[in-house]
Copies of this chain bind each other. A is one copy, B any other.
């Protein structure tokens, strides 16, 4: 059973937006046992959409289309689908009532004909009610194949997939069992890992695929299998993991399965009843943002200070001015004072700090672009390390944030 995802919109092709919908769709469909054959992003152009629909119908059993359902003239998906299925648009009373309700409740501008026209759907389509917006989803069947058209606004699409599309697909089809197990590692490159585990990799059974996913100082190892025999696949995956784990013990962080290192750290802190506070300079809020992306972060995250200006390090974080003058703002001494003081200010168990130069120019310090000091403090001591994360601003910020999480986790695991 395979699916093809078609995302529609010139804004995707010219790179004005990043297509995050496809990743969500891929993950959710895959979870229930659907293999994604292909993701195709096409222009707001009738003939191109028709061609993509035809090819997807040839390639896959389930075709999910997103985008082009808005109220304005550049949105042509609904009319194109009508043409593809040789159908006409009819007004759906439930959708119209829903649109009128949304306008009367949340929107200050009056409802217009453009909005009302969003209640028109192809006569052959089953309507999927959109809880979070005005454009309904549509479900059309043809020769045992399913076509679903969804709005491109991410949270509207997500609501429809979770509440409507997945349950309906499970009702209609019987899917095989797909399982991925992803081992999160840090501190070693992919080829070094591959060399270490080569004998194990070569002996993997044919129905299990291994992939290496490197990203800024972290490598994920993903084992994937697809089968009708759930018990066999589960057992084999566990067996293979038990074989490889001793070989990567020193670099193994945890299992990903939709959990990030940030979430793992959060879980560990929650279990230990410990808290953290953060003083960020060059990472500029990225660490705090990553922590608070997890619901429940308020259990272990006390807060953070982004001391971007040098004077803020002195005034807010109480870093000794003479340390900044003697050692510069990017130094072991300043990093450690930041971690220690932020921990005390917030009365937390751990304090983490970053100070460095993300580039592109040298800023308030003489440190080379890419130089970052990261410090960790607990109630007994504070220590730090220095890194050079290269000369690419975003990369420096992300690598420094990743490394800070790595150092924090290593500190937590010492207990």
Binding site for B on A (CB under 8 A): 10-20, 22-28, 30, 36-44, 48, 52, 70-74, 107, 109, 112, 114-115, 132, 153, 155, 180, 182, 188-192, 194-195, 201, 209-215, 220, 222, 224, 275, 278, 280, 284-289, 291-293, 295, 297-298, 301-309, 311-312, 315-316, 345-347, 358-361, 363-364, 390, 392-395, 397
A71-B191, A114-B191, A114-B194 known; A13+B26 contact, CB < 8 A = yes
A191-B112, A309-B301 known; A392+B72 contact, CB < 8 A = no
Which of B22, B52, B195, B363 interacts with A19 by CB under 8 Å? Answer: B22
Chain B residues whose CB sits within 8 angstroms of the CB of A312 once the complex forms: 302-303, 346
What secondary structure prevails in chain A residues at the interface with B?
mixed
Question: In the complex the two chains form, what is the Cα distance from A376 to B376 in whole Å?
Answer: 33
Chain B residues whose CB sits within 8 angstroms of the CB of A11 once the complex forms: 211, 213, 222
CB atoms of A305 and B308 under 8 A apart: no
CB atoms of A192 and B109 under 8 A apart: yes
Task: For residue A335, give the distance in angstroms from its CB to the closest CB of chain B.
Answer: 16
Task: For residue A133, give the distance in angstroms from its CB to the closest CB of chain B.
Answer: 10
Task: For residue A347, give the distance in angstroms from its CB to the closest CB of chain B.
Answer: 7
Chain B residues whose CB sits within 8 angstroms of the CB of A201 once the complex forms: 73
CB atoms of A71 and B114 under 8 A apart: no
Most B CB atoms within 10 A — which of A38, A285, A301, A311?
A285
Q: Which residue of B lies closest to A158 (CB)?
A: B392
Most B CB atoms within 10 A — which of A16, A28, A291?
A16
CB atoms of A22 and B27 under 8 A apart: no
